[in-house]
Amino acid sequence: MQLTVHERDEIKNIISKFSSVHNQIENLENELKRIEENRKDLMIELHTIRDKEKNLVELLKNKYGEDTSLDLETLQLVKT
């Protein structure tokens, strides 16, 4: 017994759709991995920046007194 042309075409269509969806899922998984790696890198950079900020504030306190803080919006020293 043989499949009709219509049946073969239908099967090919299903296989094609399945392959397409599967490839899209793989692409999304790869993109998610890339985004997660980027997020991790940005978190490390954020922590590094925060550490630099803390060190700078400590240096300024030592230079201008313990009652000094830094307004991060205006970048002005503020006596508390």
Q: Is the overall model pTM greater than 0.95, yes or no? A: no
Asked if pLDDT for residue 80 goes beyond 80, the answer is no
Cα 68 → chain centroid: 35
Asked if pLDDT for residue 19 goes beyond 90, the answer is yes
Domain count, the chain: 1
pLDDT of residue 60: 85
Residue 12's pLDDT band, with cuts at 50, 70 and 90, is very high
Please give the average per-residue pLDDT across 52-76, as a whole number.
85
CA distance 35 to 52: 26
DSSP designation for 80 = -
60, burial (CB in 10 Å: exposed 0-12, middle 13-18, buried 19+): middle
Contact status, residue 66 vs residue 58, Cβ threshold 8 Å: no
- Amino acid (1-letter code) at residue 34: R
Cα 55 → chain centroid: 26
Higher pLDDT: 14 or 58? It is 14
- For residue 52, give its domain range: 5-79
